[in-house]
């Protein structure tokens, strides 16, 4: 362990939260505030000055904002030498590549981007990836609260990509489907060959089913977040780890093994 790592284990991590007045941001501020090994030093929302975070000496910034502002926030954090934990959605492979480029110029900085910080959701994605090669058919049904800005969810997109990779590695062909879309959208969106259906309803928080089918049987893998508190153990785990993981980490998987 380096001197810096020993010091950082003894002293509370100084954390800033971006999107602090949002549904997730409020929950993150509460969780960080309650963690004995963390100090909440900056709460920043739209219209506030990002420099409040660096002025307050934030060592880690947690971003739950919106897909249209998250890249600027992240670029700024990396430039300032501040590590970041990002839950905001909208990360395409091109965006991840840009983040890697910024990080290449700041070798000590860590960024962890996860489409879902729920431990159960991470396991659901792992189980789905494992099941994928054994089933001819697969569809994803994600269900969220109606104030969610994006569809399909980041979790559904990530799951579809994992499944597509597993199917390709197993040499599976396209999912069989003779149906003609009489009404556009009736069969959902297609991500890497996997159909994804997005449901929005009051009362929901964040839920996903992955439905697999093969001859004579189906398998459903389902995860439900009933409360945003479900994301907090994953967020705190990432805050504790990110400064010791320079470069880009995608997903929480590596921290759970
Ligand atoms: N990874 C996960 O586990 C996870 C879990 C829940 C939500 N999310 C994602 O997190 C994001 C936020 O979700 P939410 O439900 O909290 O949304 P929200 O709309 O309630 O909150 C977003 C907040 O960001 C603020 N904001 C906008 N621009 C800003 C800027 N430039 N700087 C600072 N703050 C800014 C808004 O004012 C708002 O308060 C979404 O992309 C959502 O999909 C991810
Ligand atoms: O509430 C949201 O918005 C959520 N967004 C993430 C996604 O898009 O996958 C994670 C679940 C909650």
| pLDDT for 1 | 52
Active site residue 148: yes
Ligand 1 site, residue 152, Cβ cutoff 6 A: no
pTM of the model: 0.95
How far apart are alpha carbons 122 and 144 in whole angstroms? 17
Q: Name residue, tokens 């439905």.
A: 211
Q: Which of 30, 75, 148, 244 is catalytic?
A: 148
Q: Which of 144, 197, 207, 223 is catalytic?
A: 144
Ligand 2 site, residue 208, Cβ cutoff 6 A: no
Work out the widest C-alpha separation in the chain, in whole angstroms.
64
CA-proximal residue: ligand 1, atom 6 (nearest): 24
Q: Is 115 annotated as a binding residue?
A: yes
Ligand 1 site, residue 45, Cβ cutoff 6 A: yes
Convert the pLDDT of each residue in 214-223 to its tens digit: 999 999 999 9
Active site residue 144: yes
| pLDDT for 10 | 74
**Closest ligand, as measured to the CA of 122:** 1
**Which positions of the chain have pLDDT values less than 50?**
none
**Closest ligand, as measured to the CA of 140:** 2
The 3 state secondary structure assigned to 196-249 is: EEEEECCCCCEEEEEEEEECCEEEEEEEEECCHHHHHHHHHHHHHHHCCCCEEE
Helices (H) and strands (E) in the chain, counts: 9, 11
Ligand 2 site, residue 88, Cβ cutoff 6 A: no
| pLDDT for 2 | 58
Q: Which of 181, 185, 189, 111 is nearest to 156 (CA)?
A: 189
| pLDDT for 3 | 56
At residue 238's C-alpha, the angle toward residues 36 and 31, to 5°, is: 40
Q: ipTM > 0.90?
A: yes
* Assigned token pair, 182: 């009489």
| pLDDT for 4 | 55
Q: Which of 65, 59, 64 is nearest to 38 (CA)?
A: 59
Ligand 1 site, residue 21, Cβ cutoff 6 A: yes
> E-strand spans in the chain?
13-18, 38-44, 60-63, 83-86, 110-113, 137-144, 189-191, 194-200, 206-214, 217-225, 247-250
Ligand 1 centroid from CA 128, angstroms: 26
Ligand 1 centroid from CA 79, angstroms: 22
Contacts of 244 (CB under 8 A, 6+ apart): 5, 8, 110
């Amino acid at each position: 362990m380096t001197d810096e790592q020993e010091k950082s284990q003894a002293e509370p991590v100084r954390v800033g939260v971006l999107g602090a007045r949002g549904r997730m941001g409020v929950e993150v501020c509460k969780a960080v505030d309650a963690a004995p090994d963390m100090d909440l030093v900056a709460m920043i929302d739209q219209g506030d000055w990002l420099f409040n975070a660096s002025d307050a000496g934030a060592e880690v910034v947690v971003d739950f904002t919106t897909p249209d502002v998250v890249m600027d926030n992240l670029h700024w954090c990396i430039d300032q030498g501040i590590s970041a934990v990002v839950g905001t959605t909208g990360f395409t492979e091109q965006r991840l590549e840009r983040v890697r480029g910024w990080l290449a110029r700041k070798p000590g900085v860590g960024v962890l981007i996860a489409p879902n910080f729920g431990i159960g959701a991470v396991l659901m994605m792992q189980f789905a990836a494992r099941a994928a090669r054994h089933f001819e058919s697969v569809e994803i049904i994600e269900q969220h609260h109606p104030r969610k800005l994006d569809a399909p969810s980041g979790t559904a997109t990530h799951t579809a990509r994992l499944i597509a990779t597993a199917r390709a590695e197993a040499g599976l062909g396209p999912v069989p489907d003779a149906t003609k879309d009489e009404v556009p959208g009736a069969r959902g969106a297609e991500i890497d060959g996997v159909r994804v259906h997005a449901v929005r309803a009051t009362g929901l928080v964040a839920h996903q089913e992955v439905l697999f089918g093969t001859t004579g049987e189906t398998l459903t893998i389902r995860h439900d977040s009933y409360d945003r508190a479900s994301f907090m153990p994953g967020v705190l785990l990432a805050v504790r780890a990110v400064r010791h993981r320079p470069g880009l980490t995608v997903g929480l998987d590596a921290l759970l093994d």
